[in-house]
Amino acid sequence: MKNKKMMIAGFLSAIGLSLVLSTSLVAKSDTLSSTTEATAEASRLQSLAKFTKVLSIVEQYNVEGLGIDQLIDKSLQGLLSNLDAHSNYLDKKSFDSLKSQTDGEFGGLGITVGMRDNALTVISPIEGTPADKAGIKAGDIIFKINDKATLSMTIDDAVGLMRGTPKTPIDLTIVRKGAGEPLKIHIIRDIITVESVYARTIDENILYIRVTSFDKKVANDVKAAIKKHSTKSKGIILDLRNNPGGLLDQAVELTDLFVDEGVIVSQKGRNKSDDITYSATKKATMTMLPLVVMVNEGSASASEIVSGAIQDLKRGIIVGTKTFGKGSVQVVMPITDAEAIKLTIARYYLPSGRTIQAVGVVPDIEVDAGEIKKHNNGFNIKESDLKKHLENDDQKADGIVDVTENNATNKTIITKEQLTKDIQLKEGVGILKALIITKGK
């Protein structure tokens, strides 16, 4: 009995000691936490004091005599641009420009640029714009804007130089892969009105949809195109080549037109509140026709979300070349009525969990750009060359109806001749035809 009491007493003592130690550790933990917070706050105040001191010295002694407002703006520009390639400070002019771009109309060259390996690089020219017509290509490095070198130049500064009054000239010095020396390209500025979506037909039963950028009208315009051609279409080609991206919600809505279930894209950031998952809904799905998506090195951001999601969900075949690799999320946060900051807050993740950032989307079938070279052989003999060949029903008394020639001026049709000038699209059409045949079986 005595031993039993001693055991109980010992057990209670152990519990007491454990409680004392536990309380002591909690108290110590609270003390350490308070100390850490105090240290962090002291470091923060020291850093702010250092910044204020430097700002005061620069204001007093800088040779240009810049005022405090200008110095603060430059400080903000430096702060944001040094975080990553896509964060930046938007003054009134830049903020207005950004808003006009998402509306689908703005002034300039029609070129989207980004930083790659600290070089000002063309993500893509916008189709039909002065930059596109002058021959600017995705992947071109802009070495000079007029006579100003772009080395250490911010994207905002570069865009500011390239924009200007319509009908005024500008010269870009371009470094292009494969070219022996820099190329000087002369461009005339113009008002850029972007037709972000247009539709064509190929062989009557293939619907070709080209999306040049993701402005606020994209999903509705694609929806209208699918509805218009729904009775004849047996397959769809979605062309996202040289599409630099745009609005995330439009990328999600566009994908949802073709996908009836599953995650389209998710974003994860430092704060849990920035973690969002976007999923497909059956209600929004318009078609389950065979699908081919065209991409290249000029396909970025929203284009990579669409193509990557369709690839991961095995909804279609991706054809072309590896995409740009921009998989980060930027939000625009107004700081005044006229100014804002564009800040990278998260990364995009495709349905499989993979990231696009600095990797891009690798097509299922890789096809380099180019055209098919034809070799005419004068020794070929066809049925039509025979003296007493039977006439085709399309022949008339005054000659043969040239269907291809008639279609060449029809902007709603892509002809066989046009396909020979775009080997990527021709391959895409061939793959889609195979998918249509397979589905028919």
Query: Which of 166, 193, 220 is the last residue in one of the domains?
Result: 193
Q: Is 326 in the active site?
A: yes
Mean per-residue pLDDT of the chain:
85
pLDDT-wise least confident of 29-33, 187-191, 417-421, 423-427: 29-33
Residues 189, 111 share a domain? yes
* In a shared domain, residues 156 and 210: no
Answer whether 257's CB lies under 8 Å from 222's CB.
yes
Q: Is residue 93 part of a domain?
A: no
Catalytic member of 234, 326, 426, 433:
326
Q: In which residue are the tokens 């060449």 written?
A: 408
Q: Are 279 and 201 in the same domain?
A: yes
Same domain, 223 and 182: no
301 is catalytic: yes
| Same-domain pairing of 185 and 215 | no
In this structure, the answer to whether residues 362 and 230 fall within a common structural domain is: yes
Q: Which two tokens stand for residue 134?
A: 């002058």
| 395 lies in some domain | no
Q: Which of 81, 124, 233, 301 is catalytic?
A: 301
What is residue 62's predicted lDDT score, i.e. its pLDDT?
Answer: 93
Distance (Å, rounded) from C-alpha 167 to C-alpha 165?
6
CATH number for the domain that contains residue 183: 2.30.42.10
In the predicted structure, residue 267 carries a pLDDT above the cut 90: yes
Give the Cα separation of 310 and 264 in Å (integer): 8
The three-state DSSP-derived secondary structure of the chain is CHHHHHHHHHHHHHHHHHHHHHHHHHHHHHHHHHHHHHHHHHHHHHHHHHHHHHHHHHHHHCCCCCCHHHHHHHHHHHHHHCCCCCCEEECHHHHHHHHHHHHCEEEECCEEEEEECCEEEEEEECCCCHHHHHCCCCCCEEEEECCEECCCCCHHHHHHHHCCCCCCEEEEEEECCCCCCCEEEEEECEEEECCCEEEEEECCCEEEEEECCECCCHHHHHHHHHHHCCCCCCEEEEECCCCCCECHHHHHHHHHCCCCCCEEEEEEECCHHHCEEEECCHHHCCCCCCEEEEECCCCCCHHHHHHHHHHHCCCCEEEECCCCCCCEEEEEEECCCCCEEEEEEEEEECCCCCECCCCCCCCCEECCCCCCCCCCCCCCCCHHHCCCCCCCCCEECCEECCHHHHHHCCCCECCHHHHHCCHHHHHHHHHHHHHHHHHHC
Do 258 and 352 lie in one domain? The reply is: yes
In a domain, 47, yes or no: no
- Tell if the pTM clears 0.85, that is, is over it: no
* Confidence bin at 9 (pLDDT 50/70/90): very low
pLDDT for position 406: 44
User: Is there a single domain that holds both residue 206 and residue 154?
Assistant: no
What is the span of the domain harbouring residue 134? 105-193
Active-site residue 147, yes or no?
no
Q: Does residue 220 lie within any of the structural domains?
A: yes
Alpha carbon of residue 167 to chain centroid: 29
Question: Residue 360 domain-assigned?
Answer: yes
Q: Which residue has the higher pLDDT, 232 or 14?
A: 232
Q: Taking residues 140-163, what's their average pLDDT?
A: 89
Taking phi over 0 as left and psi of -120 to 50 as alpha, with beta for the rest, 88 belongs to: beta
Q: Is residue 38 a part of any domain in this protein?
A: no
Cα–Cα nearest to 293, from 261, 257, 326? 257
Mean pLDDT of 69-89: 92
Q: With bands split at pLDDT 50, 70 and 90, how would you rate the model's confidence at 154? A: confident
* Interval 368-405: pLDDT, tens: 998 877 655 555 566 666 665 566 554 443 333 333 34
The pLDDT tens digits of the residues spanning 94-121 come to: 888 777 666 655 668 988 888 888 899 9
- Do residues 211 and 345 share a domain? yes
CATH of the domain at 333: 3.90.226.10
Domain boundary among 193, 210, 241: 193
The predicted pLDDT at position 316 comes to: 98
Model confidence over 15-58: pLDDT tens digits?
A: 444 444 444 544 555 666 778 888 888 899 999 999 999 999 99
In a domain, 175, yes or no: yes
Query: Which tens digit of pLDDT belongs to each residue from 282-297?
Result: 999 999 999 999 999 9
Query: Which among 156, 312, 342, 422 is annotated as catalytic?
Result: 312
Task: Supply the pLDDT for residue 377.
Answer: 56
Looking at the domain assignment, is residue 19 inside a domain? no
366, 386, 412 - which closes a domain: 366
Question: What's the domain count of the chain?
Answer: 2
Portion of the chain with pLDDT greater than 70, in percent: 82
Q: Determine which of 40-44, 140-144, 410-414 has the lowest per-residue pLDDT on average.
A: 410-414
216 and 163 within one domain: no
Residues 206 and 355 in one domain: yes
| Residues 306, 255 within the same domain | yes
- Are the beta carbons of 54 and 78 closer than 8 angstroms? no
